[in-house]
Every structure is written in structure tokens, then in C-alpha cells.
Chains A and B, each alone.
Chain A
Amino acid sequence: MIWRQFSAILWLRWRIMVNQWRRVGAFNAWLMGIVAVLAVGTAIPLFIGSIVLGLYVIPQAAPAHLMFAWDGLVVVFLFFWMVGLITDLQRSEPLSLSKFMHLPVSPNGAFLINYFSSFLRLSLIVFGPIMLGFALALLFAKGVSQLLTLPLLAAFLLMATA
């Protein structure tokens, strides 16, 4: 897969999303645009904030409390992810592989790009950085043994989004 083809598939997703917003109405398009900008704009502050907060809170927290914090993050993320998924299933246009197969893109590349570009959802843009920041804070506060959290987090996100 060549970078220009990757950017073409990202652009395709973007155009489809914008046209869907426009179909519902100009107000909706504006509203969704503002929400998207806010979500992207808060991703980095959320990431840094969750590291800082984690470093401050984690050393004093009991293991059970840390577990509850993770559970809470996971449940809230899954709730918003499911809301987005159900909305997508009802409204959006699936980018099935069959629509790419006659074009000069490798099936494997098209699948991977399509899959990874599906990560561009508001729930993941907001909660991904929070969970990653929290995992890094855990690593800094509790030591190298917490490195295991990172592959676990990646596995959880891949499982939920697959």
C-alpha cells in the first residue's frame, strides 16, 4: 500500500462522513464539525492530563481502586463506542472490500487501511489518549512490571474494534 493510496482511503472516509452530515442538514453538519474539532483538540490535553493526574493519584491508590478506575474507563469507553457503532450501522455506508477489489490496491493493504482508518471515531479519539495516558502513568509510578499494561490495552482496543 502506497502512502497516496492510504491518504485516498482516509479522504474517502472523510468525504463520506461530511456528505452524510450534510444530508441530515446544515445545522447538523456544523454541530458535528464543532464536536469533531473539539474532540481532536482535546485529545492531546487529555493524554497529558491523564498522565499527570495518574502520577499524582496512583502512588497513593490501593490496587483495588486502580482496578475500579480501569473498569470505569473501559465501561464508559465501550458505552460510547457501542453508541457510535449502532449509529454507524444504521446510517453510514460500509466500506466493504468488494468496492476496492477491482482497483489497483492489494486486498491485504485495503483491509488493513480500511480497518485502521475506522479508528477515526470520536469515542476512540477521546478515550484512547486517556487510557494510554493512564497506562503510561501506571508504568512511571509502579515500575517496569506495568509494561504489560500496554499490550493489554492494545489487545483490548483491537478486540473491541475488530
Chain B
Amino acid sequence: MKSCVLMAHVPDTASVIKVSGAGDRIDEADIKWIVSPYDEYALEEAIRLKEARGGAVTVLTYGPERAQQGLRECLARGADAAVHVKGVERTFADALAIARVLAAAIRKVGPFDIFFAGIKGVGSDNSLVAAMVAEFLDIPHVAGVVKLEIGDGKVTAHREIEGGTEVVEAPVPCVVTAHKGLNEPRYPSLKGIMASKKVAIQALSVADLGLDEAALAGAEAGCRWKALALPPAKSGGTILKGEEDPAAAARELARLLREQAKAI
């Protein structure tokens, strides 16, 4: 089966986030960029599918120059091909624009039998792009999958919901988004890293897809960030010493929560 993995290149989850001078996005100065952790599960599932059934894995991303590093990493882990739609990021954080670009890229470089993505990119945290791509391609999607079986022309997916699991059946092609628990992603091997360097990444511009990036970020935009701020810093918590008399500290904490905070 030919599979396509949608990859988001995001700040490392250990990054400290600062606001840029313009006040509407992050300061990228000290940011290390990574393949979004949930996309690792998506890629792993696609590679396992290839190992079991044959076929090939293509990784697709839309982003600035630096997103190439993420594609290289996916190749090193076992993807066969990579497609980079280069953008100037005026559509930054707008899931609708990103999905329009990815759907157009898929129409150009596809067809594929199945699509994988992480349940969310750990960045603008929209958790929307995969379902939007499915809608634009007019195919079904299943989100938040923790177990996947691929049968003849269909998938059976277990998807996490509050307090349980939904078992969903969908025909292929479809979009599956991966949740933690789906698999254990492998690390890139040395052989994989060497081999990945020989793969040419297919570079496309938004204009190559017949789209106008300025319009995507303007009249056709789905959302825009007006301002970005850090959450108010907390200070002055009441921290009790409980090393010597834990019972007394516990009693005082219970009293404070009841009388002062009115929380219990």
C-alpha cells in the first residue's frame, strides 16, 4: 500500500516559549525544532504497514526551509520519499490554509491508499488539519487511534474517547490520526541516516499547486492570531513544611483548602 504521512515540524516540547517583538508569534531564536511527537506514531504505523504489506511511505509537510530537517529525520526512520511544500509562513497556525495546501499537494503527488498524521501537532495545538484534509479530499477520517488493523479495502480503528474506546470501520483511502499507545516508534538507525542522505526531497512551492499563498493568508484565511502572550506568572504560593510533622502539615493544608480557598 502507498501511504502518505502528514508531518508537522514544531518546537521541541522542552522549549521555553517567548513572544517575538511583533507580539503575535513566538520568538524562534532559541527554539529547537522537532517532528511533532504524535507524528512519530503516525510514521511508525506507516513503516510497519510497508514492512508487512509492501508499498512505500511518503512524508509530506508544508513549512519554511527548516522543515527539511524534519523530513530528513523521517527518511532516516524509514520513509521512502519526502515532499516539501515551501511556504513563507503567512498562513502560520491557520489549520484551514495548511489543510488546503496539503490537500492540493496530495492531488499533485498522489494517489495514496492511506494517510497518517499525529492527532495533533504540538505547536498551535489545533488538532484540525488531518480532518480538514480528509474533508477536502472527500474521504473519511478516524482521529485519535490507539489500535489499527488494515483489512481488505478497509481499516478497523480503535479511537480513544472519554472513558472508553470507539471501534470505527472505514474504507480506504482514509486519514488516520495516531494517538500515543498506537505503537512504539523506532529511532533512526545509522544505516537509515546514511541512506536518507541520498534521497532527494521533492520541493514544491504553493504556486506550483495552483494556490496563492497571499490569498490563503488573506481573503481565504480561516483564522489569524491577533496577539500572543505568556500566561500570567504565579507567585506567592503557601508552601508548608511537612518533613518533621506531616500530620500537622496535612491538617493545615486541609484547613486552608476548606476555609481560605473554599476548594474542598
Is chain B found bound to chain A in the same assembly?
Answer: no
Residues of A within 8 A of B (CB): none
